[in-house]
Structure 1
């Protein structure tokens, strides 16, 4: 990829979401099985991440959690970006008086670190150069998909 992630901040995009920030380049992605002290595993039910006892054939429902260190926040807080479904869904907490955990699909925005508030964009017209825009509109597309290869 020709873009330098170090110059961009990565945002998971959903209505009212708090941005997920990209890890530095060459950061290892970790894949873990997570369960609580009561032996409850994580799995999806009705598009929500829930915890419960999975036995027998239901053990295949368990979600593996992918995470990468988030180096854009204070290191001593040990911040991470967490995802499920092979990293295509992000665990996010929108800013709100009463925070809640949400799963967001893999739409991302790349914000300029040098010019906060400006985002990488493509043109609504095909075969145009990449640019920067403050907000999506009919001419500028700010939302991107990407996946681990």
Structure 2
């Protein structure tokens, strides 16, 4: 067990000598000063500075050095000085005893999960501007095609769940309406997921008529973009901004999603609540 001397014993030693602790000796050892270290003649005691010598050799800082620091600072505070003791004076001692600590600064931001508050659901008939309706084919595939006469009963209605962002101020979707697009009569909802190198539209069995508060469920959210002048609607994926639900100009093709609205595929629809 290491021997810790009493602080009064340390303070009783002279400023003209340095106190060290031997590795195997529990008693105090005094190292006499050289003649060049003695106080010059005529110098007043108030002008004597404090000298702290750190032993070379061991790379790590030791308790011995910390004890010398405490004694040196205590004596310095008790003696008169020509200037006030400042932080820089103490810092010079601390720099000699403690290892420097390196800090790294990381600039990062954390985006919280989007939160959408469920309001209500409403059913709509839907067809694109080419008058193609949506039908459900096995197993769970939406297809757009022209329906006439008795075959018109095959068309599906959308059960649109309406949401409202809990915090819409300054958000990207402040002027957009978040919705989930379900198939009426089924627990199937459209979702946009990554498949390979690009997003894909699919139908999933789910029950999301509730608040959406996780990134995982954002795949079911689409922004309904209404054109009041033309009475048309587009649906943009919330999980993949810039990707819109689309139908092919050719009949009997699956309903999909595209990031090139208005070029080849059709991304504009009519909704009717009749």
Tell me the TM-score normalized by structure 1.
Answer: 0.51
Q: Indicate the SS of the match to 2:204.
A: strand
> Is 1:103–2:203 an aligned residue pair?
yes
Match of 1:129 in 2: none
Distance, in Å, in 2 between the alignment partners of 1:111 and 1:69 is 10
Residues 161 and 182 in structure 2, CA contact (< 8 A), matched pair in contact too: no
| Counterpart-to-counterpart distance in 1, 2:190 and 2:212 | 23
- Please tell me whether the aligned partners of residues 23 and 68 of structure 1 are also in contact (alpha carbons under 8 angstroms): no
Residue 130 (structure 2) aligned to one of 20, 38, 44: 38
Distance 1:85 1:30, change over 3 A: closer
- Match of 2:175, SS state, is helix
Structure 2 runs not aligned, ≥5 long: 1-114, 216-274
* CA distance in 2 between partners of 1:82 and 1:70 (Å): 11
How far residue 112 of structure 1 moved from its aligned partner, in angstroms, is 9.4
- Determine the C-alpha separation between the residues in 2 that align with 1:87 and 1:22: 23
Q: Going by fraction, where is helix more abundant, 1 or 2?
A: 2
Q: Offset at 1:76?
A: 1.8
Preserved CA contact (<8 Å) 2:122 2:161: yes
The 3 A distance-change label for structure 1 pair 77 and 55 is same
- Kindly provide the CA deviation profile for residues 15-68 of structure 1, in whole angstroms up to 9, marking residues without a partner as x: xxxxxx7643xx221100000111100001232101101112211110000112
Determine if contact 1:91/1:104 at 8 Å carries over to the other structure.
Answer: yes
Aligned residues of 2:116 and 2:211 also touching (Cα < 8 A): no
Whole-Å separation in 2 of the counterparts to 1:111 and 1:68: 11
- 2:187 is aligned, of 88, 93, 98, to 88
RMSD: 3.2
The TM-score with structure 2 as length reference comes to: 0.30
Task: Extract unaligned runs of 5+ from structure 1.
Answer: 1-20, 118-149
Task: Answer whether contact 1:66 1:87 (CA < 8 A) is retained.
Answer: no
For residues 62 and 22 of structure 1, do their structure 2 counterparts lie closer, same or farther at Cα, with a shift above 3 Å needed?
farther
In 1, are the aligned partners of 2:124 and 2:158 still within 8 Å (CA)? yes
Please show how residues 62-77 of structure 1 align to structure 2 within 5 Å.
62-72=155-165, 74-77=173-176
* 3-state SS of 1:33 partner: strand
